[in-house]
A and B are shown apart, each in its own frame.
Chain A
C-alpha cells in the first residue's frame, strides 16, 4: 500500500493550492489514497475498529484545518501519517489507565543480536506464492504484528505496510535511519519466528521415491 501511488509532489502541491484557493471539494480526492494507511496506523495503536475510525475522521479534519501549514519539504503522505499518529497517541494518553501501550525504553543497540535469532528450519521447502493468498496466514501475521512491542510495530507499520522509505519512516517517528533499520530487522525476525510454523504448513509435501508422499 503506497500512499499516493500516482500523485507526484507537484500534483499534490497543485491540488493543495487549489483547495486553499477555495476549491474545497478537492480535499476528498487529495486524501483518498491515504485513507487506508491512516486507518491501519490508528488500528495498530488503538486496537479497536470504532476508535480507529473515529480517530481517523478527527485526524483528516485536522489535516484539512492545517492544510495551510503544510510545507512541501516533507511528503504529504508522511505529514498526514504523522498527524494521524499524534491523534492516536493523544487518545492513548487519555486512556492511560489501560496498559495496552506500555512505554518502553529505547533498546536499540543494547539488546544482544542473539535475542533476535531467526527460526531455523531444517526441512524447509519453498512456499509457493499462491499459498501466501491463504487467509490463515494473513490472520496469523495480523495478530503477530499487533503483538509486537510498540517500537517495533511502528517501524513495521510504516516501512512494510505503508511502504514508506527509511528516511520518511525516520522522520515520522523522530528516530535516526539507523534505528529504523535495526528495529525493522528485529521486527521482521520476530515475525518470521511467529509465522514459520504456519508457513511450513503451506509448503508442498515432500515427495519420496516414485513421487509418493513421505
Chain B
C-alpha cells in the first residue's frame, strides 16, 4: 500500500496521538521520509499540540486561587453551623 499526501493529512491528528494501526503508521513514516511538505505539515501541527499543553497559553488572574479558597472557606464554615 502506497499512500498519498492527502491520505497522510487525514491521519495527522491520530498519528500525533499515537492512535494509528502499526501498518498505517509504517506507511506514513515511509511517506514522511521523502515528502517535505507532509513532514512540514506534521511538524507544525505537532508544534501546535505541544504549545497547547503550555500552561501559559491562558493566564489566570492574579489572586484567583486565594479568592476562590476564601469563598470556599466561608461556605464550608457556614454549613458547619
Contacts and interface: CB of A to CB of B under 8 A. Distances in A.
Contact of A132 (B50, B68, B73, B79): B50
Interface in B1-27: 6, 9-10, 12-14, 16, 19
B13 A57 contact: no
Contacts of B60: 35-36, 39-40
Given A132-B50, A185-B13, A124 B72 contact: no
A117 to B, nearest CB: 7
Given A132-B50, A192-B41, A195-B44, A27 B13 contact: no
Contacts of B75: 61, 64
A142 B55 CA distance: 11
B67 to A, nearest CB: 7
A64 B13 CA distance: 37
B72 A27 contact: yes
Nearest to A114: B6
Contacts of B72: 27-28, 31, 57, 60-61, 64
B36 A188 contact: no
Interface in A17-31: 24-25, 27-28, 31
Interface in A94-127: 113, 117-122, 124, 126-127
B12 A118 contact: yes
Q: Do most interface residues of chain A lie in helix, strand or loop, or is the interface mixed?
A: helix
B44 A53 contact: no
B69 interface: yes
A189 B48 CA distance: 9
B47 to A, nearest CB: 6
Interface residues of B, number: 42
Contacts of B51: 132, 137-138, 141, 195
Given A24-B76, A28-B72, A181 B14 contact: yes
Interface string A4-27: 000000000000000000001101
A196 B76 CA distance: 48
Interface string B45-69: 1011111111111101100110111
A145 interface: yes
Nearest to A141: B51
Interface of B: 6, 9-10, 12-14, 16, 19, 36-37, 39-41, 43-45, 47-58, 60-61, 64-65, 67-69, 71-73, 75-76, 79-80
Interface of A: 1, 24-25, 27-28, 31-32, 35-36, 39-40, 43, 49, 53, 56-57, 60-61, 64, 113, 117-122, 124, 126-127, 129, 132, 137-138, 141-142, 145, 156, 160-161, 163, 166, 181, 184-185, 188-189, 191-192, 195-196, 199
